[in-house]
Structure formats: structure tokens, C-alpha cells
């Protein structure tokens, strides 16, 4: 999948979207709370790793548009993920709604981000 032109970022985004879809399938098939919680935890950990890599890259790109907003979105989703795991443990969240909201957020974020990343040359990290 090519979103941004940056191979590793695109691979990570593809993995995130595939993981959310797999989780949605597991919930629909009734795979069990333990399996869903384990996968959700792994996904949350992956998101943190992805954000760390992406933010490191963003700081190397000159004048990345709306950088502060982008970083704030990452912070918001990271906090949301932690809160959501707590709610899942307590059984206080509808998993299907959560996953749909997460998928919608990721798609919007990736689409917006890809527009900005495409203005940079991945080989030189310079503005095109």
C-alpha cells in the first residue's frame, strides 16, 4: 500500500489498518474477550512504536505542515488507547464501536498525513 511515498511509514500504516480489520473480524466471529484484549494491547503497543518512528522522521523534514497539530493527534490517540484498554478490562466499552471509531480515525489521519508526506522526497528528505 502506498499512502505517503515513504516505504516504512506506508508499511506501518498498512499493518495498522490490517490489524484493526482483523480485530473487527475476530469480534464478529466471537473469538473471545481474551484474544480480543491481547490483540488490542498488541495494537496499542504497535501504535506507540509507529508514532515514535514517525515523529522522529517528522522532525527531520523541513517545515512539515501542521507539525504541532499532527503531534497532538498522536498524543490524543495514545492517551485514548490507554483509557480504552482500561475500559475494555472493565467491560465498559462496546468493542465494535471502538474499532470502527479507531479505523475511521486512522483512515482520516493517514489520508491527511499522506498529502503532507508526498510533498517531500523520501530519498533526500527535502521538500519537492
**pLDDT tens string 3-61:** 899 999 999 999 999 999 998 898 889 887 788 888 888 988 999 999 999 999 999 99
Please check whether residue 2 lies inside any domain of the structure: no
- On whether residue 28 sits in a domain, the answer given is yes
Longest dimension (CA), the chain: 49
26 in any annotated domain:
yes
Cα(77)–Cα(69) distance, rounded to whole angstroms?
12
pTM for the predicted model, two decimal places: 0.87
Which among 17, 15, 3 has a CA at the least distance from the CA of 114?
3
Domain carrying residue 11: 7-127
- pLDDT at position 2 is 78
**Confidence at residue 41, expressed as pLDDT on a 0 to 100 scale:** 87
> Would residue 60 count as lying in a domain?
yes
Backbone dihedral region for residue 125 (phi beyond 0: left; psi -120 to 50: alpha; all else: beta): left
- CATH number of the domain that residue 94 is part of: 1.20.120.50
Does residue 1 belong to any structural domain of this protein? no
Q: Look at the chain and report how many structural domains it folds into.
A: 1
pLDDT digits (tens, 9 = 90+) for 64-114: 988 999 999 999 988 888 888 888 778 877 788 888 888 998 999 899 888
Residue 88 domain flag: yes
Residue 47 falls inside a structural domain: yes
| Closest of 96, 112, 125 to residue 30, by C-alpha | 96
The torsion angles phi and psi of 30, rounded to 5 degrees, stand at 70, 40
User: Does residue 41 lie within any of the structural domains?
Assistant: yes
Amino acid at each position: 500500500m502506498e499512502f505517503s511515498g515513504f516505504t516504512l511509514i506506508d508499511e506501518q500504516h498498512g499493518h495498522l489498518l490490517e490489524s484493526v480489520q482483523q480485530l473487527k473480524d475476530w469480534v464478529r466471529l466471537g473469538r473471545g474477550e481474551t484474544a480480543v484484549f491481547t490483540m488490542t494491547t498488541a495494537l496499542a503497543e504497535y501504535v506507540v512504536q509507529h508514532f515514535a518512528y514517525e515523529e522522529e522522521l517528522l522532525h527531520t523534514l523541513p517545515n512539515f505542515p501542521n507539525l504541532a497539530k499532527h503531534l497532538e493527534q498522536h498524543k490524543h490517540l495514545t492517551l485514548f488507547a490507554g483509557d480504552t484498554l482500561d475500559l475494555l478490562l472493565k467491560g465498559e466499552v462496546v468493542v465494535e464501536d471502538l474499532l470502527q471509531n479507531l479505523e475511521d480515525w486512522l483512515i482520516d489521519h493517514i489520508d491527511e498525513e499522506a498529502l503532507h508526506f508526498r510533498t517531500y522526497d523520501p530519498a533526500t528528505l527535502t521538500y519537492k
